[in-house]
Amino acid sequence: MALVTTAEVCDANPQLILSGELRALQPVFQIYGRRQVFSGPIVTLKVFEDNVLVREFLEEKGNGRVLVVDGGGSLRCAILGGNPVVQAQNNGWAGIIVNGCIRDVDEINGCDIGVRALASHPMKANKKGMGEKHVPINIAGTRISDGEWLYADTDGILISRTELAV
């Protein structure tokens, strides 16, 4: 998607926006990581102040996928840190969206992966392994389902029911 911006996708697809097949997330996320432009099929995860399942996903081969984590919008601790992001980069994940906080920002900013999160926080998460995998989630004003496609650049984040011909 390096040649087509999210703004151009929106301009070229008003019918998909009207039908709800193409949605833009509310602009609440900070940009981290070296890869500012990324896209891929979505894997969803719902957790709250617990990062065990986040780490488990990122230990798998990413195959160009994007992990979208609904962390409940918590600003009390980080559910993603530098080590899992390095693993995600090495395992071929395209990006990670966190509706919550991250930490180890300098380390994450050195990684060739796209990361979006609400903020950074120095405190670590719980390690109980609680959460739900592959479930529909609601973040930044948008319902997101496993298997949909995500397109991110410096203008914003789009969610599409299917892969776009960009």
Task: Please state the domain extents for the chain.
Answer: 4-158
Tens digits of residue pLDDT in 119-165: 999 999 999 999 999 999 999 999 999 999 999 999 999 999 999 87
Q: Superfamily for 4-158? A: Ribonuclease E inhibitor RraA/RraA-like (3.50.30.40)
The rounded distance, in Å, linking the Cα atoms of 86 and 40 is 18
Q: What is the pTM of this model?
A: 0.96
Any known ligand binding at 62?
no
The rounded distance, in Å, linking the Cα atoms of 57 and 59 is 5
Any known ligand binding at 81?
yes
Any known ligand binding at 103?
yes
Strand partners, 23: 159
The rounded distance, in Å, linking the Cα atoms of 18 and 82 is 38
Any known ligand binding at 83?
yes
